[in-house]
Structure 1
């Protein structure tokens, strides 16, 4: 702490002139932290336990509240590049973009959503700097998900629990999956399954993955199982790929909005920068579709990055897209791959949502279906069973790459991130059963996805909420900008907290690095009863938000 204090007390002249807001925030944050630590140390000297409890509840709450506000502001400035474009109105209460009133109106009961054990997160005698960063990443990314797991909605046992429409999982065909997994061919205790396997995965599973992708991706020639690697999840696969393709500090272009897990995966191990290629929701002559990705946009982002001295090694694509639900046309895919070849870039393309295209009029084209890839040695496909089969607990992430060096390097991570032999056996049996997949699972899953999507979108229309109407994925990308005043990410966060207050989890657009505040991802692949209750809670939260905005506007009018 002494070194940090020295740094904060004596900021450089450049920092003062370039980022006065950031300097002021850090100094206030430091002073609050020092006061908080002093108070915590004093607590241990108290002899009267009852007095100690009273002092803590009264004196600490104000410090914790101020501390959280300050941290939110610092994070906001860092995320925005600490530029002058982010206008913050600072006062003694730590107001962010006019959001203090909305926050204090819900204190102190809702403050626990923002607090994540301040002492443990910022004061540790045990964690290294890297460990502290990892802990902070976990707290910021998964705190609400952890809270949800401790308070899940159940119609009978916990009707006031959280309903999670934030995480992209499907519960629509659990009955079919559990029945298939309970059949006799799924059970095996063969000796080979109980021992260490090839780090790439058991040969029988890699062979079946190759056959499965050949068939369902419509590959022109049988895929080679020697080009397949399996690990315990696509997030680990992405992290492993970026690690073997990049050195720390190098970068991949990533169109935004994009799957938030990639940010976590790239920070945990590989320390690879994801350069955001921001897409616009506004429809123009150049962009006839919302959030359309064009080669021109990619080239502009690449040129800007290289001008800034960044070493860009590749491009990340998601098809079908998360969170937009878009399915790339074959022509678009080829354009993106040719762009990458032109600039000697690797392409990591995530096709995990391949099995979620429920609109039969929309064709899905895998890059593995192409007769010839522009640069096969630099094209790497990720796929898994979590989304299409709704079995995220099995933790299968598969890589297909023709680059033998890349496959070999990624295989090394199987030492730490392999899948159990028993799970590999069950997955192999599942993927082998084409008759069940084609005649039972796929048509039923498609029908249930269509019904759930129709129910949710009808409710959204009734609430007059704009959304992207796409034919794939387990979610809808919805526009709640009209409920933000002003339309800022600070207000988006407050709206997200209001959903939490109503025991509803949605995913805010900021977590997908969307450049426009107000977008949320809403997952619809859940049980009908859950969706019904969730939409009632959504309507209630938005009604409260609308009332709050009306009161705020009235106060502003009276001030004038």
Structure 2
């Protein structure tokens, strides 16, 4: 994607928001194009699955290769067509919505990020960029799919990087309440990382380390987990592996635990960064366990995960011939903010043991619980696990400590074979020795963590959450109030007419017109349109300006709905 300037332009004579609705064929055309694009993605996934099955049958391999070459050309041509159609349909819009949303945490997720407008002098160059994404015949089928996924995902993040809001330097830039970063304690972290004990270098730090991570860091992590996860006994440093982020760990885990074509249960709404990570190396399928917003006798809270729903999803998948071999859980949950109780966690783990499933539990949001009345229970705090050799915990410093740029993630598992297999990927996904030293010193400073950072971080999270939720209440917008995480999961269904994912996309674009980035529910595989995630862990000034933009966009959306209803009534 190309950017010809530091700011985004509007087509001549167009005022904010006009590009969204004044192009009469736009909603219908966009709906068809989005449907076509999703169909093509599903087709590519089906091809990959079929090829994996053919690769395991030697007698079919010769025929398979010729078929692949023809299919690669077909996919390439379809992708070109959809790129051209999509570019043309959105050429008069300020921004367009990409196919995927990633919380950049290794991290990619939450917020959909903006693309540049399609002005006449930019269009041909941008089309050539789109074409280039699909015309590289040197790539394998999987390479073509990953390249397309990359272009549809990260180009928008780069657009945001080039046009960030700054109070004095760039007041018209984007405010990003979609990407999930904790920016509330940058001052504290900057001061701590600037102290003299951080500035240490020796020979060992400048050489290759154990691929699992330096022994001194793994030892400190075992102590850290023992203390803050409230483990019943001292944890073993030999069960720790360090890589550059939780998404790297998840991607590696899917590859070394599961065979290509096998599946993992993923309760949705679900962090989309793991969806991306699961397709990079392993081509493992994520089976959505769709949760409902409605409260019933069986589900006593919104989007409640039960063993019954897990079991139904697993059995339905098996009836379709899929091999379900794992379950992934995020606790506290992203994007819902749910904190699983100890009993509930045990039920999930017992279910997994019953069906011989590996369980990957992401506890990266452990340090974001700001409601002290809600206890957090780490899996590592349990006296005994139903199947310890198949229970694997990942954690990182991006969320609780707000240092996503460190690119740090840690795995704890008692499965020694898994430690060796994941540790081997330190050869590709390791962290520099100097960064490992700084991380070790940070985790060792319990006095600073307990007496300075944790209480300040909790207080600022509470204040930011209070501000955002008061704003939402004033606007009459329902939301989940969970007491953890850096975000609020809110219901904007009343601003959709009809309540469809196409209308959700257009509302998302309405926010983009106002230079505000949020995360639409579709990106989290939410089965109900109208839900959005809003990240509140930002500076007070940014939140204030963002909510002004948010309110203006909703006022504009209301006006549009009134006018639409009037026209519909007249047409009847």
Report the Cα offset of residue 336 of structure 1: 0.3
Q: 1:73 maps to which residue?
A: 35
1:280–1:290: 8 Å Cα contact kept in structure 2?
yes
1:216 corresponding residue in structure 2 = 228
Measured in 2, the distance between the counterparts of 1:351 and 1:371 equals 18
The CA distance in 2 between the partners of 1:432 and 1:185, in whole Å, is: 11
- Alpha carbons 1:113, 1:497 under 8 Å: kept: no
Once residues 95 and 231 of structure 2 are traced to their aligned partners in structure 1, the CA distance between those partners, rounded to angstroms, is 52
Instruction: Name which one, 1 or 2, has greater alpha-carbon Rg.
Output: 1
Measure the CA separation in 2 of the matches of 1:68 and 1:127. Answer: 30
Tell me which of 184, 187, 190 is aligned to 2:202: 190
Pick aligned residue for 1:206 from 189, 199, 218: 218
With 321-330 and 65-74 compared, the bigger mean Cα shift is at 65-74
CA–CA separation in structure 1 for the residues paired with 2:204 and 2:567? 72
Which residue number corresponds to residue 228 of structure 1? 240
CA distance in 2, matches of 1:461, 1:151: 30
In the alignment, structure 1 residue 437 sits paired with structure 2 residue 437: no
Say which of 331, 337, 343 aligns to 1:331. 343
Aligned to 2:4: none
* Correspondence 1:107 to 2:101: no
Aligned length: 481
TM-score, normalised by the number of residues in structure 1: 0.82
Residue of structure 2 equivalent to 1:357: 369
Rounded Cα–Cα distance in structure 1 between residues aligned with 2:476 and 2:523: 24
In structure 2, how many angstroms separate the alpha carbons of the residues matched to 1:125 and 1:438? 55
1:297-355, Cα deviation, whole Å (9 max, x unpaired): 01101110111111111110000000000000001000000000111111000000000
Q: What is the root-mean-square deviation in Å for CA atoms of aligned residues?
A: 2.4
TM-score (norm 2): 0.81
The 5-angstrom pairing of residues 276-287 of structure 1 reads 276-287=288-299
Per-residue CA deviations over 1:46-74 (Å, capped at 9, x if unaligned) read xxxxxxxxxxxxxxx9xx99997654221
Corresponding residue of 2:172: 160
2:500 to 477, 488, 493: 488
> Pick from 430, 450, 461: which aligns with 1:449?
461
The answer to whether the 8 Å contact 1:478/1:522 transfers is yes
Deviates more, 1:117-126 or 1:214-223: 117-126
Please state how far the C-alpha of 1:399 moved relative to its aligned partner: 0.2
Q: What residue is the counterpart of 1:304 in the other structure? A: 316
Correspondence 1:514 to 2:490: no
Structure 1 residue 119 displacement after superposition: 1.9
1:465 and 2:461 matched: no
After superposition, what is the alpha-carbon deviation per residue over 1:45-103, rounded to whole angstroms, capped at 9, x for unaligned?
xxxxxxxxxxxxxxxx9xx9999765422134467999xxxxxxxxxxxxxxxxx9xx9
The 1:79/1:331 distance shift into structure 2, 3 A limit, reads farther
Return the alpha-carbon distance in structure 1 between the equivalents of residues 326 and 313 of structure 2. 12
In 2: Cα distance, 1:78 partner to 1:367 partner: 40
Deviation for aligned residue 1:110: 3.9
| Residue of structure 1 equivalent to 2:152 | 140
- For 1:499 and 1:467, the matched residues in 2 are separated by 18
Comparing 72-81 with 169-178, greater Cα deviation is found at: 72-81
Deviations 1:510-533 (A, max 9, x none): 111100001011000000000000
User: Secondary structure of 2:288's partner?
Assistant: strand
- Give the gaps of 5 or more residues in structure 1: 1-60, 83-99
1:117-164 deviations in Å (ceiling 9; x for gaps): 432233335544333222211122223221110000000000000000
Alpha-carbon distance, 1:106 to partner: 9.1
- Whole-Å Cα distance in 1 between the matches of residues 135 and 387 of structure 2? 49
- Residue 347 of structure 1 corresponds to which residue in structure 2? 359
Change (3 A) 1:249 1:413: same
Q: 1: CA distance between counterparts of 2:458 and 2:162? A: 31
Tell me, yes or no, if the aligned pair for 1:319 and 1:349 is still in contact at 8 Å. Answer: yes
Of residues 367, 375, 381, the one that matches 2:387 is 375
Please say which of residues 172-181 and 142-151 is displaced more in the overlay. 142-151
* 2:276 pairs with 1:291: no
Q: What secondary structure does 1:516 align onto?
A: coil
How far is 1:254 from its partner? Answer: 0.5
Taking the aligned partners of 1:256 and 1:531, their CA distance within structure 2 comes to 27
Match of 1:420 in 2: 432
SS of the equivalent of 1:122 reads coil
Cα 1:242–1:355 shift into 2, 3 Å:
same
- Structure-2 change in CA distance of 1:161 and 1:202 (3 Å): same
Question: Is 1:172 aligned to 2:184, yes or no?
Answer: yes
Residues 108 and 359 (structure 1), Cα distance of their counterparts in 2 relative to 1, 3 Å cut = closer
| Pairing partner for 2:516 from 504, 507, 513 | 504
Change in CA separation of 1:67 and 1:220 when aligned onto 2, cut-off 3 Å: same
The yes-or-no answer on 1:269 pairing with 2:281 is yes
